[in-house]
Amino acid sequence: MIHPAKRLEGIAEYYFAGKLREIAQLRLEGKTIINLGIGSPDLPPAPAVEQALAAGLNLPQAHAYQSYTGIPALREAWAAWYARHYGVQLDAGQEILPLIGSKEGIVHIAMSFLEPGDVALVPNPGYPAYRAASLLAGAEIRYYDLDETKHWLPDLDALEQSDLRRVKVLWANYPHMPTGARASAAVFQALVDFGLKHNILIVHDNPYSFILNEQPLSILSASGAKAVALELNSLSKSHNMAGWRVGMVAGHPDYLKTILRFKSNMDSGQFLPVQMAAAAALHLPDDWYRALNATYSSRQAKAFELLETIGCQFDRTQQGLFVWAKIPAHYSDAYALSDHLLHHAHVFLTPGGIFGSAGNQYIRVALCSDRATLSEAIRRVSELEHANKSASTHINTAIPS
């Protein structure tokens, strides 16, 4: 057998890949599994987006290779969207680089700026791709712990006391996944100031700013941001286009040119009709976001009910596509709770430990199922909790006093 490259050492298969196989096997055995674990929107894109895709299919150049930097109409649409919703002015020709999904951008940035000897600061808990991409680039990982008592925000004072000489990149993400924590403009300014002071590239991943959030923020609105910050964004969650793979990275032209040197060796541009549809999505009226959030707000209320049934504690002000909750103390960790619910109630919730050790005592529920499905999950979990309590009572009364 040919041995794999050493760069894959320490990088396991993505958790959900294995869990989906387990769920598939349970379904083959006749189990009806409710999967509330993965944040894949179940709602369709706006009709105007689908119409733009269809119209693009009829263009003579629709099936040809496209520019590595995307069509002008898409870059201009991203720029207008940032100006309208974030109050950030971007040069469509130089400060925006469309991506085939923002996850692609995480790898591109890591490979473009990190190398052996560098250190990447990764949030714990946080999106696993930050760690994996940094390791693939050969960098050393150093976690910065996020804590519920500090509202899951970075403790920059604590980081100031550490050795930052080899730190080159800090990954950040607000509204935060998985905790749903919000960041203020002051937090973004503090991150930018930290990057300026220590010559650290701040990479902010911003795909959740339109979900259950009436005041979207961008780190690029902070003073001096373009000197040390890049921002990733995506249409996956905000426009129900996860499978379309449409994202972008915004920042200083010199940073984007560096990323393009890597990206242009990895792909050959994005399908033209998809780019046209993405441009249409970025021009949707505010009513689109309000209607989408009304749906998610209704689902969030059911997710709260489900978590209360389990006995979890949670913050009702969290944002994004998930609900994050602290598990009851009688479970050793969230993996134990997740497996218990999967195999006894046939309901899958994501254990927080997959996002880092700071998530071991937390569980995550995705808001990507309708209210009827969430209600059925509540019914199943309620029955399981009732059976558990009945069994516990029976054992206790059977023991002689």
Average pLDDT rounded to a whole number, residues 194-211: 97
The confidence score (pLDDT) of residue 398 equals: 47
Distance CA 200, CA 106 (A): 16
394, pLDDT greater than 80:
no
Q: Model's pTM, two decimal places?
A: 0.93
Distance CA 157, CA 197 (A): 13
312, pLDDT greater than 60:
yes
pLDDT for 39-66, tens place per residue? 899 999 999 999 999 999 999 999 999 9
Average pLDDT rounded to a whole number, residues 301-313: 96
Q: Is 199 left (phi over 0), alpha (psi -120 to 50) or beta?
A: left
The confidence score (pLDDT) of residue 319 equals: 95
The confidence score (pLDDT) of residue 391 equals: 64
pLDDT for 97-135, tens place per residue? 999 999 999 999 999 999 999 999 999 999 999 999 999
Distance CA 151, CA 148 (A): 5
The confidence score (pLDDT) of residue 193 equals: 98
The confidence score (pLDDT) of residue 78 equals: 98
Distance CA 223, CA 218 (A): 12
| 27 to 33, 35, 279, 338, 373: CA distances (angstroms) | 7, 11, 39, 17, 16
Confidence of residue 393 (pLDDT cuts 50, 70, 90): low
Mean model confidence pLDDT for the chain:
94
47-286: CATH number: 3.40.640.10
Distance CA 338, CA 326 (A): 13
The confidence score (pLDDT) of residue 117 equals: 97
Domain limits of the chain? 47-286
Q: Tokens for 82, please give them.
A: 């940032």
198, pLDDT greater than 50:
yes
H-helix segments, 114-155: 128-136
